[in-house]
Amino acid sequence: DVVYNSTSNEFVRTKTLTKNSIVQIDAQPYLQWYMKKFGVDLRKKGKKGAKDAKDGKEAKDAKEEPEEKKSRHVIFKLKAREAKQKLDPAVEEQFQSGRLLASIASRPGQSGRCDGYVLEGEELTFYKKKLEKKKKA
């Protein structure tokens, strides 16, 4: 869904994809990639050590899927990546909600496809403020 466009509110109302539009996208593919790359599940709120023993046990019982066996090399890589990995709290909050804000970088009408990037940092806070103002008005 197009949630913000700096040029025209008409584009937001009609959900027209244009360059530099801000859209809401599904976070699931990014969650899967992040899990595979860093071995960290972003859907869970809080840190790994913060959960109760009961909750962890019930979650294990509910997830009786056979987990992929990982070699020592892969486990070593995941630990090294996890040590260096840090994520913006605002982006982590979006992952937990299941929707990400992204900006369209290409001109969809010209190329027939839509390329863009996920908003982070200052850009994300800027557009979040704009969206909050829009909701209040």
pLDDT digits (tens, 9 = 90+) for 34-61: 888 877 777 776 554 333 434 444 444 4
Can you give the length of the chain in residues?
A: 137
Task: Give how far Cα 46 sits from Cα of 51, 53, 91, 127, Å.
Answer: 8, 14, 14, 25
Give the SS3 label for residue 10: helix
Q: What is the pLDDT of residue 86?
A: 77
- C-alpha span between 5 and 14 (Å, rounded): 11
Q: What is the CATH number of domain 2-45+68-136?
A: 3.10.290
Give the SS3 label for residue 50: helix
Q: Check if the beta carbon of residue 43 is closer than 8 Å to that of residue 59.
A: no
Q: Give me the amino acid identity at 56.
A: G
Domain range summary for the chain, segments of one domain joined by +:
2-45+68-136
What is the full DSSP assignment across 53-111? HHHHHHHHHH--SPPPP--HHHHHHHHHHHHH----HHHHHHHHHTEEEEEE-S-HHHH
Q: What is the pLDDT of residue 5?
A: 93
Q: Quote the pTM value.
A: 0.70
